[in-house]
Structures are given as C-alpha cells and as structure tokens.
Amino acid sequence: MIECYNFSCQGESHKSSNKPCQDFSYSAVTDSGMSIAIVCDGHGGDRYFRSDIGAKYAAEVTLEAVRQFVASIDQGLFEGNPYTAEEAIALEKTLSEEPIKKQKPIDIAFRQLFSSIIFQWNNRIVEHATNTPISSWEAENVDSIYLEDLKQGIKLEKIYGCTLMVYVQMPTYWFAFHLGDGKCISFQEKPLWMEPIPWDDRCFLNKTTSICDSEAINEFRYCYQGDGHFPMAVFLGSDGLDDSFGEIENLTNFYIQVVKMLVNEGREPTIKSIEEELPQLSAIGSKDDMSIAFIYNIDALQVHISDFIQYQINLVTDNIHATDSRIEKLTQKLHLVEVTETYSEKDKIEADYARQDIERAKEGRTKLLLKHDALMQQLSLSISKNLCENGEAK
C-alpha cells in the first residue's frame, strides 16, 4: 500500500526575526493512482521577502502541471525504460556553438512540463504582486530598494524566488525532478539508498539554482524509470534538514530511523515524532526552516526492514574498526613519546593529549558496541517476525 506524508516548520532563526516559514511541502496519493511529493524552499535573503508565497505557488502550479502531464503524455514513452537520470544543461553549452545532444521524445516532454511550471508560476506571482499591497511588516523590515522593485513590478521573480523538488509515482512508472538545493533520497533493494536525481554543483553553500533564474528551464535535473521497478520509499528534504546532518550518510540514517519507526510503531507515532523533532533539530542545527515529504510502500518496507537494520549494523561495524585503528595509532604515538630519552615539556603535553584522545576513543567504542548489540537484537527480532508471518501466510 502506497502512503505519503509531508511537514514543514519554521526555522529557529526565523522565529527570532519574526519571519514566516518560507518552506512549503505537499504530498498526496490520489484515486487516479498518482502519488506525489513536493518540497519548495523559499530563498532567505532580504530581496526574497515574499519567497514563502513563491514557494506555495510553485507547489500549486507544479501539482496542476503534473496532473495534466500524466493525463496527456503517451505512457509508452516510459515503458521499458530502466532508471535514467539527466543532468542540468550547462550554461556554457547553451551560450556556445557546441551542439546540445539530441533530445528523445521523453526529454522533450519533460522540458515542456518544466516550461509550463515556470510560465504558470510567473503568472501567479505577477497576479499576487499586482493585487497585494505592501504589508506593515514589509514596510518596516524590507529595504526600500526591493520595495520599489515590487511597486514598479520589476524583478518580481527574485522577490518570490524558491527551489523546487518533486517525486511522482504512477502505476507503471515514476519520475522525479529538482531545481535548486535540498536532497532527494530513495530506498530500494539494491543499492539500499541513492540520490536518484543528479546533483548540480552550482548549488554550493548559500548559492543555489532557482525557479527565479533567467535560465531556470536549463537548470532542471530529472530522472525516471518505467521497467516495473519502484523505490520502497522516497524522501524529499529542504536544505535546512540536510545542512543539520552534515554528511549525507547521517541524513540517510535519519530517514532509515523514520522507516524503522513506520514499520515497528506505525504511522501516527512516526508523524508525532517528526513534528516534535524537526523544530528541535532546527534549533540545534541549521536554524533554518525545515521541510520533509515522502512517499512509501509500507508493505515493501515491512518485507525488507531487515535490510535497513543490516545497513546500520554495517555502518556501526565500520565505525568500530575505524575507532580501533585510531586507538592503535594513538597508543603507538604515546609509546614513542614516553620512550623518548629527553622528555621535554612539549612531549609531556603531547602525551597528555594522546591519553585523553585514547580515553575518548575508548568511550566512543563502548557506545558503538552497545549500539551494535541493540541493532543485532533488532535484526534477530525482525527476522523472527518475518518467519512467523510467512509461516502464517502459508
């Protein structure tokens, strides 16, 4: 059974400055067989002071454009296609005489979809700018230069700018596309997880591609598959979420924890936990707004939950080995210092640091061993549960 969920929350930094949540998320499983998840992240700079509205409009026009796309497209374009990913078109290529590779009909269809989204979004923001006077908060907090742009109706796309990330699943195919930063992570049998949508190196630190860019049509990245293979779950998260975790493996592990909770405790406790934890994560992490949206097949997750636990066991095991190696190197370093005939004050300081590092590493190793034991118990229980359920089914 396919299910979905989405949640957005105001970032800690926005609470102190009285800024609205500039993220917007959406998810749905429709009667027509379409499942969709959307995350839009409004830009936080001073000039993007209506980006919360822009993010909402981007999600709304995308939902309608995707509905029309799946209703009108020849589904044969997807049929039989293995997982295929397309990167953004490099700007230098569009400006040079070097020919861009010939597009297939499915690529042309996607480009038409992206063009429609951009066109409809621009229409919506012009309408909003025309009909919505400057608010008292805007008058007090926004630079007069940007307010004048709004009054004159120029650079409106900057005022409302945002990113866009989408996953769509139909009965016979799925596709996803992305404009900007944030992360999309999918889970399937092999490999267990991946980033299905190609990354764009132009999204770095506080820089990102955006629907407000003049070359936005060339900045979309996308992927699709129509050979009968579907992810077990796909998670979309705004950059406020992945920035809080740092390494992508940490973000992935967070999503695995969500998967395990869905399987072991059910949907409602999982939702409650997410809605409690994300604001706390913003407070200790990125301080940014946070959005999450995901589509998942609960039946597939239940069958493969042991794979998720085994993945975590492998990670912990690797960390134990790395810690053992670190302890060994520190011990050797300490020994070399201690056997030095002329034991200087500097040697004494280095020895003290080495001893402290060894103790911390040993404490960390003890925690890892406890975590490893707990995961092994989870794996054993999961395997036993699956065996009992399969036996009952027979």
Q: 375, 313 in Cβ contact below 8 A?
A: yes
Tokens of 342: 């002329």
pTM of the predicted model as reported, rounded to 2 decimal places: 0.92
- At 331, list the tokens: 């011990």
How far, in Å, are 41, 66, 99, 155, 293 from residue 38 at the CA level?
10, 11, 33, 25, 7
CA–CA dist 376, 352 (Å, integer): 36
Neighbours of 251 (CB within 10 A): 20
CA separation for the pair 24, 166 (Å, rounded): 12
Q: Which residues contact 152 (CB under 8 A, 6 or more apart)?
A: none
Cα 198 from chain centroid? 13
Report CA 45 to chain centroid distance, whole Å.
21
What would the two tokens of residue 69 be?
């796309």
pLDDT tens string 208-230: 999 999 999 999 999 999 999 99
- Amino acid found at 203: C
Which amino acid would we find at residue 247? E
Residues 260/308, Cβ–Cβ less than 8 Å: yes
Average pLDDT per block of 10 residues along the chain, 394 residues long: 96 86 97 95 94 98 97 94 91 52 87 98 97 94 94 94 98 97 96 96 91 96 97 97 92 97 97 96 94 98 96 96 95 81 76 91 96 95 78 50
Query: What region does 182 belong to: left with phi over 0, alpha with psi -120 to 50, or beta?
Result: left
| pLDDT at site 387 | 73
Contact 232, 182 (CB under 8 A): no
Tokens for 168, please give them: 């769509």
Q: Which segments of the chain does DSSP mark as H helices, in order? A: 12-17, 51-72, 91-95, 105-131, 136-141, 144-152, 156-159, 239-245, 248-264, 267-284, 298-338, 345-393
Q: CA-CA distance, 370 to 377, in Å (whole number)?
A: 11
